[in-house]
């Protein structure tokens, strides 16, 4: 939608210009009921654009550009349309032509450069895009937009140090708070260090992540993981509990390692207490399944099944049903068992096709959790879906 708005904003001056130009040529005054042919073309193009009929819109705007060779805005709008339609080569040629045009004002030239940078990004020519956006930042022309694009490039290249540096510059320039995003960059660095066995370095990056965002769930989870890998499960469990307190929505991600640390540090009484407490505040199925397993191991099948059945009445869940079938299976024989097996298969298939997570920003559905949305590239926006067939 923002791209569409952008095209519209670019086109409004073009429409006025074209109306004025035609009116002047025809020797008529603009007041009165004269509606120029080009203005009506413009509104026809606009209509196509609003109806997402980009092919027809391009046709109309090409005609406008033909009549108005000097109208930079029309060319910019056209280039934007080409890029949005995936005709990146055409967009690049058009914008390069604009940039090299003699007599172009500095303001228009930098707009064209910004567009060209976006073309390069879309074409995967990240080096060229980086150079161009860096030049724009150095010229202090459209610097916030250029910085946002540069940050996107560094994220793509996983150059987290540069991403952090540019995000801080963006913060200083716009006054907007980017600390949540910067905390994620530090978590990426911490994860890299952890994987390379540089544990002290990982802890230092996590300290920086917390300095940016004191309740960073991911930083808590990584800290817990570092403790768990060193066999310090009491500390690990404590930090995982802090992760739950920081954002209870991440319970499905946090519970498996937390339960592992509880088990390894013989804290199962405390585990029951903590899970019971979550049950009051969180309406998904994960804590129910965790408690069911805990009761099964400690008190046997009967207690576990009774608990699960009573919970499923309050919070219907396909995953809960699956757990119930699994727990009951051993007690059933003959034809009923065959029917249960069919039911189990069906339930499994139903769950397999199901997105378990959704981006709260763009609606992207995912089966696994991502810290960065693969579609809109936002951080920490992918959350468990709550519903009968999900969490």
**Burial of residue 248 (number of CB atoms within 10 Å: 0-12, 13-18, 19+):** middle
Segment contacting Zn ion by CB under 5 A, of 188-196, 270-278, 306-314, 371-379: 371-379
Q: How far apart are CA 157 and CA 272, in angstroms?
A: 43
Question: Which three-class secondary structure string do you get for 286-349?
Answer: HHHHHHHHHHHHHHCHHHHHHHHHHHHHHCCCHHHHHHHHHHHHCCCCHHHHHHHHHHHHHHHH
Q: How far apart are CA 320 and CA 342, in angstroms?
A: 17
Which of 167, 166, 235, 158 lies closest to 191, judged by CA?
A: 158
Q: How far apart are CA 20 and CA 31, in angstroms?
A: 11
Q: Which of 192, 260, 354, 375 touches Zn ion (CB under 5 A)? A: 375
Distance of closest approach, residue 352 Cβ to Zn ion, in angstroms: 23
User: What proportions of the chain, in percent to the nearest 5, are helix, strand and coil?
Assistant: 75, 5, 25
* Total residues belonging to the chain: 391
Do the bridges between strand 365-366 and strand 382-384 make them parallel or antiparallel, or are there none, so unpaired? unpaired
Asked if 68 and 18 touch (Cβ cutoff 8 Å), the reply is yes
Distance of closest approach, residue 170 Cβ to Zn ion, in angstroms: 20
Distance of closest approach, residue 365 Cβ to Zn ion, in angstroms: 10
- Count of residues near Zn ion by CB under 5 A: 7
Cβ distance to Zn ion smaller for residue 218 or 225? 218
Q: Which of 373, 384, 390, 391 touches Zn ion (CB under 5 A)? A: 373
Tokens of 180: 């949540």
Cβ distance to Zn ion smaller for residue 189 or 359? 359
Distance of closest approach, residue 155 Cβ to Zn ion, in angstroms: 14
Radius of gyration of the chain from its Cα atoms, rounded to whole angstroms: 29
Neighbours of 205 (CB within 10 A): 23
Asked if 312 and 328 touch (Cβ cutoff 8 Å), the reply is no
Q: Does 254 bind Zn ion (CB under 5 A)?
A: no
Cβ distance to Zn ion smaller for residue 124 or 365? 365
Cβ distance to Zn ion smaller for residue 129 or 373? 373
Distance of closest approach, residue 358 Cβ to Zn ion, in angstroms: 9
Distance of closest approach, residue 377 Cβ to Zn ion, in angstroms: 7
Cβ distance to Zn ion smaller for residue 21 or 371? 371
- 333-362 positions binding Zn ion, by CB under 5 A: 359, 361-362
Q: Does 4 bind Zn ion (CB under 5 A)?
A: no
Asked if 216 and 183 touch (Cβ cutoff 8 Å), the reply is yes
Neighbours of 368 (CB within 10 A): 8
Distance of closest approach, residue 390 Cβ to Zn ion, in angstroms: 17
Segment contacting Zn ion by CB under 5 A, of 44-52, 291-299, 312-320, 370-378: 370-378
Q: How far apart are CA 40 and CA 23, in angstroms?
A: 13
- 53-72 positions binding Zn ion, by CB under 5 A: none
Q: Does 376 bind Zn ion (CB under 5 A)?
A: yes
Which residue is it, tokens 């025809």?
26
Cβ distance to Zn ion smaller for residue 148 or 169? 148
Cβ distance to Zn ion smaller for residue 270 or 383? 383
Distance of closest approach, residue 363 Cβ to Zn ion, in angstroms: 7
Q: Which of 154, 205, 295, 364 touches Zn ion (CB under 5 A)? A: 364
- 128-147 positions binding Zn ion, by CB under 5 A: none
CB crowding 160-196: b at 16 or more within 10 Å, else e? bebbbbbbebbbeeeeeebbebbbbbbbbbbbebbee
Question: What string marks each residue from 276 to 305 as x (binds Zn ion by CB under 5 A) or -?
Answer: ------------------------------
Segment contacting Zn ion by CB under 5 A, of 54-62, 210-218, 250-258, 369-377: 369-377
Chain centre to alpha carbon of residue 150? 17
Distance of closest approach, residue 373 Cβ to Zn ion, in angstroms: 3
Cβ distance to Zn ion smaller for residue 149 or 194? 149
Q: How far apart are CA 51 and CA 22, in angstroms?
A: 27
Segment contacting Zn ion by CB under 5 A, of 40-48, 65-73, 189-197, 374-382: 374-382
List contacts with Zn ion (CB under 5 A). 359, 361-362, 364, 373, 375-376
């Amino acid at each position: 939608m923002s791209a569409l708005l952008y095209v519209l904003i670019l086109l409004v001056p073009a429409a006025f210009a074209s109306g004025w130009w035609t009116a002047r040529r025809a020797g008529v005054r603009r007041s009165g009921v004269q509606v120029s042919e080009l203005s009506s073309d413009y509104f026809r193009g606009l209509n196509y654009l609003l109806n997402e009929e980009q092919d027809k819109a391009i046709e109309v705007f090409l005609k406008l550009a033909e009549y108005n060779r000097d109208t930079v805005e029309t060319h910019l709008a056209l280039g934007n349309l080409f890029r949005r339609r995936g005709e990146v080569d055409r967009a690049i040629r058009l914008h390069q032509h604009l940039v090299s045009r003699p007599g172009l004002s500095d303001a228009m030239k930098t707009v064209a450069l910004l567009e060209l940078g976006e073309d390069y990004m879309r074409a995967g020519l990240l080096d060229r895009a980086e150079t161009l956006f860096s030049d724009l930042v150095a010229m202090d022309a459209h610097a916030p937009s250029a910085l946002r694009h540069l940050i996107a490039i560094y994220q793509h290249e996983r150059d987290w140090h540069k991403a952090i540096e540019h995000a801080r510059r963006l913060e200083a320039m716009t006054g907007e708070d980017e600390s949540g995003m910067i905390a994620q960059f530090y978590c990426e660095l911490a994860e890299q260090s952890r994987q390379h066995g540089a544990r002290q370095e990982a802890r230092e990056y996590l300290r920086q992540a917390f300095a940016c965002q004191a309740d960073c769930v991911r930083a808590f989870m990584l800290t817990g993981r570092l403790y768990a890998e060193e066999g310090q499960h009491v500390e690990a469990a404590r930090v995982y509990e802090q992760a739950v307190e920081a954002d209870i929505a991440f319970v499905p991600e946090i519970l498996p390692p937390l339960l592992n640390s509880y088990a390894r540090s013989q804290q199962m009484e405390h585990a029951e207490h903590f899970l019971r407490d979550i049950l009051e505040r969180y309406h998904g199925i994960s804590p129910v399944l965790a408690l069911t397993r805990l009761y099964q191991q400690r008190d046997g099948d009967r207690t576990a099944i009774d608990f699960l059945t009573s919970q499923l009445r309050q919070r219907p869940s396909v995953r809960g049903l699956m757990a119930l079938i699994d727990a009951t299976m051993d007690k059933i024989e003959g034809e009923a068992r065959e029917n249960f097996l069919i039911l189990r298969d069906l339930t499994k298939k139903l769950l397999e096709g199901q997105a378990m997570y959704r981006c709260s920003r763009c609606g992207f559905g995912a089966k696994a959790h991502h810290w960065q949305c693969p579609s809109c590239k936002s951080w920490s926006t992918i959350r468990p879906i709550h519903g009968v067939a999900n969490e």
